[in-house]
Amino acid sequence: MKKIVFVFVCIFVCLLGFEGCKKNELQETKGVVTHLKVHKDTLLSARILVDGDTLLFNMEEARIIGNLFVKGDSVKVNYIEGNGDTLRAFVVSVIAKPINEITPSVAVSDTIITAPAQQEE
């Protein structure tokens, strides 16, 4: 009986050890920026809406690819778990919005009307 209890305790301790040594893996998500916390010229944190959930990212270690993002921009974030509810962002890429090209229609029959030149006397 003592051997069986000892085996179960050993297995339990091993499982706890494996769970405690679990590494934080780099994860990626895409979302829309809803709030930025800035102090002077330093970006401290950002809230990003991802599939209906708002995630809070610590941006102190983040590298921003492209341009700085503002509220309403779409971003792709590579992150790991942080302290409590905060996630640690490492790479933040701004997802560019598609360009809307405007092609003006050219009217062939239109003529350009100009004012007559003024002559000085």
**What's the CATH class of domain 24-94?**
mainly beta
pLDDT means over runs of 10, the chain (121 residues): 74 64 78 92 91 91 87 92 87 87 68 75 60
Residue 17: predicted pLDDT: 59
| Element spanning 2, H or E | helix 2-20
Residue 1: predicted pLDDT: 74
What Rg value do the Cα atoms of the chain yield, rounded?
29
pTM of the model: 0.63
Write down the domain spans for the chain: 24-94
Residue 93: predicted pLDDT: 92
